[in-house]
């Protein structure tokens, strides 16, 4: 019988061992590319100001993946947090991150069931969590992403 606090799916251990050996930085570059394409334009300027220079990490525990990044000079940037711990880390299994993005699970529910761990600066963690809660998840739908990218391309072409 499955414990209700246990995710419905976990990355298989052999796959996690392989993923955990991948170098972090290239993965972080890909991760921030997605953040910049999809998320950055939907964040309030006050939020971005508060993120300036702060080090952040997404840790996908069951996959052994870590994505280190920061907001600097108007964009998310890949970072290397090898020397010091980041200001803020969100840690969960892949399934739980998926459920958060799909709004199938509430972050507070995952947090209190210990499936989402937030480490570091508490105030920064609450600000990031509340900001993500306030974003309409429809912006992550592939059609919306493609529409936004095409609109951005037309805008750049028009003003060159």
Handedness of CA 60, 66, 72, 73 (dihedral sign): negative
Beta bridge partners of 77: 70
- Per-residue pLDDT at 160 exceeds 90: no
Domains observed in the chain: 13-158 (3.30.1050.10)
- Which pLDDT score, from 0 to 100, does residue 8 have? 67
Q: Between the CA of residue 126 and those of 28, 85, 123, what are the distances in Å?
A: 22, 18, 5
- Which pLDDT score, from 0 to 100, does residue 152 have? 66
Least confident of 36-45, 68-77, 148-157: 148-157
- Which pLDDT score, from 0 to 100, does residue 33 have? 93
Burial environment of residue 39 by CB neighbours within 10 A (0 to 12, 13 to 18, 19 or more): middle
pTM: 0.81
What gap in Å lies between CA 94 and CA 99, rounded to an integer? 9
Q: For the chain, what is the mean pLDDT? A: 85
- Which pLDDT score, from 0 to 100, does residue 78 have? 96
Q: Residues of the chain with pLDDT > 90: what percent?
A: 52
């Amino acid at each position: 019988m499955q414990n209700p606090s246990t995710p419905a799916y976990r990355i298989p251990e052999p796959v996690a061992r392989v993923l955990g050996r991948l170098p972090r930085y290239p993965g972080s570059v890909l991760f921030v590319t997605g953040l910049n394409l999809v998320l950055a334009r939907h964040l309030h300027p006050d939020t971005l100001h508060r993120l300036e220079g702060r080090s952040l990490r997404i840790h996908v525990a069951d996959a052994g993946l870590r994505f280190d990044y920061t907001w600097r000079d108007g964009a998310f940037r890949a970072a290397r947090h090898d020397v010091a711990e980041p200001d803020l880390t969100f840690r969960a299994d892949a399934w739980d991150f998926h459920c958060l993005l799909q709004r199938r699970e509430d972050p507070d529910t995952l947090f209190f069931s210990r499936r989402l761990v937030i480490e570091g600066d508490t105030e920064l963690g609450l600000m990031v969590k509340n900001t993500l809660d306030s974003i309409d998840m429809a912006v992550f739908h592939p059609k919306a992403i493609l529409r936004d990218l095409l609109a951005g391309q037309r805008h750049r072409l028009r003003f060159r």
